[in-house]
Amino acid sequence: MSPVLTTVADFKSTHWLEGPRLLAACGRKIMEVQGMFRNAELSGFVQEAHKLAHAHDHPDVALVPLLSAWAVPSGPLTGDCLQTIIDTILKHLRAVDPVDGLYLSLHGAMGVRGIEDPEGEILRQIRAVVGPDLPIVVTYDLHASVSRQVVQQVQAIVAYATNPHRDHARTGAAAARLLLGLCQKTLKPTMAWRSLPMLLGGGTTIDILPPMLGIFQRLRHWERQRKILSGSVLMCHPWNAHPETGWNILIVTQNDQALAEKLADEMAERCWQVRHEMPPSFHTPEAAIRLAKEARLARKLGVVVLADASDVVSAGAPGENTALIEALLAHGRELVSYVPLRDPQVVAALWDQPLGSQHHVKIGAKLDKARGKQLDILVKIHERRQSHGVGRTLVLVHEQVHIVVVEGPALALAPSFFTNAGLNPWRADVIVVKNFFPFRMFFAAIARLTLYVKTAGVTDFDAAHVLDFAGDIHPRDEVVEWRTTDRRRRLG
Ligand SMILES: [Zn+2]
């Protein structure tokens, strides 16, 4: 949905580790992904593999690190960017003796310009080098798209079981158990897949709240049985221009295809039943500011957090929506507010100007000119900083409205985004985040009221309705049954 293309430079400036440096980042209590994760999938995988090797007296288990690359979600990757990533993986694979198995932590909701199924393309090129028989286990975010090309080329897929996600390491560890079992021939995973023509459903889609709570509890109950190795429900990334997007179910059993098929069927039916439970509706900017003003006690004891649900950077939005800034200038100038904004041009133009100087600037709508609205305002330069991932940062102030302008992606989901800019979150009345779920964990200590705001942008739930899907999809279209689409997706 976003027109801002993602290049290799976006990965290299965020996170790019190869070979031994990657393995070193997967140790205990070490930052695996700088500025983001201490213990993600690769750490979970590496630590579990070491543990298993030790427990079963296999000191000969050797790990061969290939590549770990992250960029902040944005618009599609360029074809060159994807090919550089694949070439780097293949370069490391070719440089070592043949491996016994391969683990790929793919996330699974990547979009690449001109390539319909990027994860399938990664698998295709890797299979061309390692051959058709090498055991491959893949882990996914639960917002991944699942394709026939991927399912056919791997032995098992395991996805996160939490939303907001907090089981990255557990997911990597599950992959280690499956892959080592495959390599040592103690496991023979059999996987069943079901795919639903369904973009939205499941209410808030949070794993600890109904209706998804019961679904995830059922999966965990199954996994306690010896024959069931893994159960995943993937609720898709609803703004990914994947023609076969939708919810997916993946069940992995120990050498029992019939059992996997039966459970996948049952789980697909269960997910289809919650399709009418829509996400909550969100406030307008004006209503949210009125509620923030009324919440005197909340502001006194902490802050009111406004989640800009239309401009969620962690879901791929540009992070340059000015609707909340405009509303705060019109209705909430007296509130001490911190608002993130990505505007590399304004940062470049004002970077050398002295602190305290005043300037007329046009902010916003530089990256996605078709959607955003530019604001013309008088600001004072309040702070100048530089930090990992977001690059050069300026805090521009108009009365009590503090605009944190960054040149890189405005991944504003934790108080550290604001402290890195020299601001004290406790002194704010209102803090704007560009995120759906994870911010709630990071802001738990300080947020006294959280309001979701719809400001019109690429991460609106109905924004994906303009995309070109293969066939009807709920809730955009009326879809009475899921099995026809499921069969087409799985069997062609
Ligand atoms: Zn996700």
The answer to whether residues 204 and 318 belong to one domain is no
CB neighbours of residue 478 within 10 Å: 7
Ligand 1 mean position, distance from CA 3 (Å): 21
Q: Which of 247, 273, 299 is where one domain is finished?
A: 273
Tell me the CB-side half-sphere exposure of residue 136, using CA atoms within 13 A. 21
The answer to whether residues 262 and 341 belong to one domain is no
135-56-32 Cα angle (round to 5): 65
Ligand 1 mean position, distance from CA 460 (Å): 16
Ligand 1 mean position, distance from CA 166 (Å): 10
Cα–Cα separations (whole angstroms), residue 151 to 9, 123, 175, 195, 199: 30, 10, 15, 12, 20
- Residue 279 in domain: no
Is there a contact between 47 and 175 (Cβ–Cβ < 8 Å)?
no
Ligand 1 mean position, distance from CA 250 (Å): 16
Residue 59: burial class (beta carbons within 10 Å; 0-12, 13-18, 19+):
exposed
Find, among 359, 361, 272, the residue nearest to 322 by Cα. Answer: 361
The answer to whether residues 254 and 299 belong to one domain is no
pTM of the shown model:
0.93
What does the DSSP assignment read for 431-472? EEE--SSTHHHHTTTTEEEEEEE--SSTTSTTGGGGS--SS-
Ligand 1 mean position, distance from CA 437 (Å): 10
Ligand 1 mean position, distance from CA 191 (Å): 22
CB neighbours of residue 370 within 10 Å: 6
Dist CA 175 CA 170 (whole Å) = 9
What does the DSSP assignment read for 251-265? EEEES-HHHHHHHHH
Token duo for residue 354: 């002295």
Total domains in the chain come to: 2
Instruction: Indicate the length of the chain as a whole number.
Output: 492
CB neighbours of residue 273 within 10 Å: 12
Place of tokens 């400001």: 455
Is there a contact between 360 and 367 (Cβ–Cβ < 8 Å)?
no
Token duo for residue 156: 């098992």
- Residue 96 in domain: yes
Find, among 44, 10, 3, the residue nearest to 27 by Cα. Answer: 44
Ligand 1 mean position, distance from CA 144 (Å): 7
Mean pLDDT in residue range 18-27: 92
Quote the mean pLDDT of the chain: 95
The answer to whether residues 360 and 318 belong to one domain is yes
Mean pLDDT in residue range 419-430: 97
Question: Is the pLDDT confidence value at 60 over 80?
Answer: no
Question: Is the pLDDT confidence value at 199 over 80?
Answer: yes
Ligand 1 mean position, distance from CA 402 (Å): 30
- 177 falls in which pLDDT band (50, 70, 90)? very high
Token duo for residue 94: 């070719």
| Residue 184 φ/ψ, nearest 5 degrees | -90, 5
Mean pLDDT in residue range 16-27: 93
Reduce the DSSP state of residue 431 to 3 states and report it.
strand
- Residue 485 in domain: no
- Residue 347 in domain: yes
Rounding to the nearest 10 degrees, give the CA dihedral for residues 88, 90, 94, 98: 130
State which residues form the domain around 343. Answer: 285-460
The answer to whether residues 238 and 387 belong to one domain is no
The answer to whether residues 370 and 453 belong to one domain is yes
- 356 falls in which pLDDT band (50, 70, 90)? very high
pLDDT in tens, 223-280: 999 999 999 999 999 888 888 999 999 999 999 999 999 999 999 999 999 999 999 8
Ligand 1 mean position, distance from CA 41 (Å): 13
Ligand 1 mean position, distance from CA 361 (Å): 35
Ligand 1 mean position, distance from CA 8 (Å): 22
Dist CA 174 CA 51 (whole Å) = 12
Q: Which of 218, 250, 273 is where one domain is finished?
A: 273
Ligand 1 mean position, distance from CA 295 (Å): 31
The answer to whether residues 335 and 358 belong to one domain is yes
What DSSP designation does 314 have? G
- Residue 2 in domain: no
What does the DSSP assignment read for 131-175? -SSS-EEEEE-TT----HHHHHH-SEEEE---SS---HHHHHHHH
Reduce the DSSP state of residue 198 to 3 states and report it.
strand
pLDDT in tens, 287-306: 999 999 999 999 999 999 99
pLDDT in tens, 443-469: 999 999 999 999 999 999 888 888 888
Question: For the stretch 351-360, what's the b/e string if a residue is b when 16 or more beta carbons lie within 10 angstroms of its beta carbon?
Answer: eeeeeeeeee
For residue 387, the model assigns a pLDDT of 85
Cis peptide before 211 (omega within 30 of 0): yes
pLDDT in tens, 361-399: 999 999 998 888 999 999 999 999 998 878 899 999 999
The answer to whether residues 76 and 180 belong to one domain is yes
Ligand 1 mean position, distance from CA 329 (Å): 33
Ligand 1 mean position, distance from CA 193 (Å): 19
Is there a contact between 126 and 93 (Cβ–Cβ < 8 Å)?
yes
Dist CA 149 CA 120 (whole Å) = 5
For residue 465, the model assigns a pLDDT of 86
Is there a contact between 26 and 42 (Cβ–Cβ < 8 Å)?
yes
- Residue 323 in domain: yes
The answer to whether residues 123 and 90 belong to one domain is yes
Dist CA 255 CA 187 (whole Å) = 8
For residue 39, the model assigns a pLDDT of 87
Find, among 73, 87, 92, 74, the residue nearest to 22 by Cα. Answer: 92
Cα–Cα separations (whole angstroms), residue 396 to 82, 337, 346: 36, 11, 10
- Residue 404 in domain: yes
Question: Is the pLDDT confidence value at 58 over 80?
Answer: no
Question: Is the pLDDT confidence value at 56 over 80?
Answer: no
CA distance between the termini of the chain: 27
Dist CA 192 CA 490 (whole Å) = 10
The answer to whether residues 134 and 253 belong to one domain is yes
Ligand 1 mean position, distance from CA 413 (Å): 14
The answer to whether residues 245 and 311 belong to one domain is no
Ligand 1 mean position, distance from CA 273 (Å): 22
Lowest mean pLDDT among 124-128, 385-389, 410-414: 385-389
Dist CA 303 CA 305 (whole Å) = 6
Ligand 1 mean position, distance from CA 152 (Å): 23
Ligand 1 mean position, distance from CA 399 (Å): 37
The answer to whether residues 207 and 302 belong to one domain is no
For residue 293, the model assigns a pLDDT of 97
For residue 61, the model assigns a pLDDT of 87
Mean pLDDT in residue range 23-44: 87
Q: Could you tell me what percent of the chain has a pLDDT over 70?
A: 100
- Residue 1 in domain: no
Find, among 183, 170, 180, 118, the residue nearest to 147 by Cα. Answer: 118
Ligand 1 mean position, distance from CA 407 (Å): 24
Ligand 1 mean position, distance from CA 102 (Å): 23
For residue 34, the model assigns a pLDDT of 80
Dist CA 11 CA 254 (whole Å) = 37
Mean pLDDT in residue range 307-328: 95
Q: Which of 220, 250, 273 is where one domain is finished?
A: 273
- 55 falls in which pLDDT band (50, 70, 90)? confident
